[in-house]
Amino acid sequence: MQKKIAKKLFTTFFLITVACSAAKDPYLLSHLPRIQILEKQDHKFCASLKLNFDRSDNLKNELYWRCRLSLAKYKLFTNPASSNEAKHNLEIGDLVTKISLKLSVTPESTLMQENRKIDNFQHQQCLVMGFEIETEDQTKIDDYFACRKALIEDQQLVPPFGDAAYLNYPNRSYNLGFAIDQRIDAAIKRYNAAKKKYPTCVKFNLNNVNFKNCAMAQDKSYQCLATIDKKIFKQDAEEKMTCQKQSYVRFPSELLKEEERSKAEIERMKSNSDYYNQHNFASLGIDYSQFDADAERAQKELAEKQKKTDKNVNSKNGLYSHYELTRLRQKYIFSCQKEAEKRTEEFARGLKKDCEELVEFKIVGEE
């Protein structure tokens, strides 16, 4: 019994070992056997180029994966005419995606890093000398690359560190083609950045005056739009403040009822008090109209009272309590602010329209 168990365990271990040894090579990314055959061919070719001179592992070399990517893309049918060709393109497309992912996480080779440094340095040299690359003038572009070519040739004549022995190992990867590729990459990055920021302007050449004018117009429009909220807030606050002020003009404090008793009632009570307390002529049986001066004064007072009464017949003063007057003011403010909101909305639409119109500019070269 124990022998049978030991035999089974040995068989299982053997099968696991065989399965592990049969695992696909790390440079194979596709799970399809037909595509793996093509991958092995591409791997053999790229490895034969000895691109990993500064690294011992091809799988960590950017140049190796760039080689694999180029070979994989070359296998795509431009215009698939059958279902088999369309299926082939899908399978190769999947491989291209996987290689691209590998390439995105693979560190740049030391040679590529140094080539980029030299390229940038010589690019700046030509710019300082007055040559241009960001222009529509093809003659100026040709002159720029003539400058780059001259610098590259001069560099190849001078050995690194002054050691002539290095001339036997020239850097063939840094040439005019490399410089052109770098400028193309830079132009693509510049275009993508411009497309993201100025999507409606990239229909013009980035080096054209129309693109520059379009970008400037859009910048002005964006800046204008950024100030709209602040202007609307200010306008809204002023409108509401105006409504508050107008409510007090429309319903002034004079409309409040007097908290104390009316003057007429106070006068009547005072007169009665004087009579009963014998503090006036009437209480003593004397008619003060007998006295000319007093009679004249009485007549004047009576005329003034009548005048005030006539004046206040149609007056609204003293009609409302404090609560009533407050309600009237609130009702007026509410109605006023509803109208103010309409004016503010119209004001906002006008601002937005003015800002959006700033994107318009005169296209050079068009009638």
Domain coordinates of the chain in residue numbers? 20-107, 111-197, 258-317
Q: Answer whether 212's CB lies under 8 Å from 134's CB.
A: no
> Looking at residue 49, what is its pLDDT?
76
* pLDDT value of residue 66: 83
Going by C-alpha positions, the residue among 225, 226, 202 that lies closest to residue 214 is 202
Q: What is the mean pLDDT of each run of 10 residues along the chain (367 residues)?
A: 51 47 71 93 84 59 83 89 91 92 75 86 95 91 94 80 66 83 88 91 89 92 92 92 91 75 49 53 50 57 58 59 88 92 92 90 75
The DSSP H or E segment spanning 249 is: helix 228-250
pLDDT of residue 12: 53
**Six-digit token string for 209:** 């005056």
pTM comes to 0.52
Instruction: List Cα–Cα distances, 360 to 41, 51, 214, 224, 260, in angstroms.
Output: 57, 53, 8, 14, 69
Residue 119 CB partners (closer than 8 Å, separation 6+): 174, 178, 179, 182
Alpha-carbon separation of residue 291 from 294, 297, 305 (angstroms): 5, 10, 21
Instruction: Write the burial class of residue 144 (CB in 10 Å: 0-12 exposed, 13-18 middle, 19+ buried).
Output: buried
Instruction: Give the Cα separation of 319 and 252 in Å (integer).
Output: 12
What's residue 313's pLDDT?
Answer: 46
